[in-house]
Amino acid sequence: DAEITQSPRHKITETGRQVTLACHQTWNHNNMFWYRQDLGHGLRLIHYSYGVHDTNKGEVSDGYSVSRSNTEDLPLTLESAASSQTSVYFCASSGGPGSGANVLTFGAGSRLTVL
């Protein structure tokens, strides 16, 4: 079955370190998204991509970067982790064929703690 996989599921790091969260989907979706979810703020869009080599900033992109070198993967990098980036991160994808094209499918999430 097709799926969207995030790794690691849990990560503890220190302030200032670079961290990369992986997202891999086997749906062959064109669109991929990264969100963070925090109490009181809900889900906020960090970056998104509509295809290979396409990346766009979302509403909370400062301190994050992404690259899209193939259809399946959209890794999220925190260049220099800050305590304010402690959160749960969700990857999502969409863009399948036919009537399912707009359905957004989510990964299980990655919980990041920055000490």
Partner 1 sequence: KQEVTQIPAALSVPEGENLVLNCSFTDSAIYNLQWFRQDPGKGLTSLLLIQSSQREQTSGRLNASLDKSSGRSTLYIAASQPGDSATYLCAVTGKIIFGKGTRLHILP
Residues binding partner 1 (CB under 8 A) = 33, 35, 40-43, 45, 58, 90, 92, 102-109
For partner 1, the closer CB: 3 or 79? 3
Cβ count near 17 (within 10 Å): 12
Distance, in Å, from the CA atom of 115 to the CA atom of 107, rounded to the nearest integer, reads 25
Give the Cα separation of 87 and 42 in Å (integer): 11
Smallest distance from partner 1 to CB 15, Å: 25
Farthest-apart Cα atoms in the chain, separation: 45
**Taking the complex as a whole, how short is the minimal distance between the CB of residue 16 and partner 1, in angstroms?**
28
- To partner 1, the closest distance from the beta carbon of 106 in angstroms equals 4
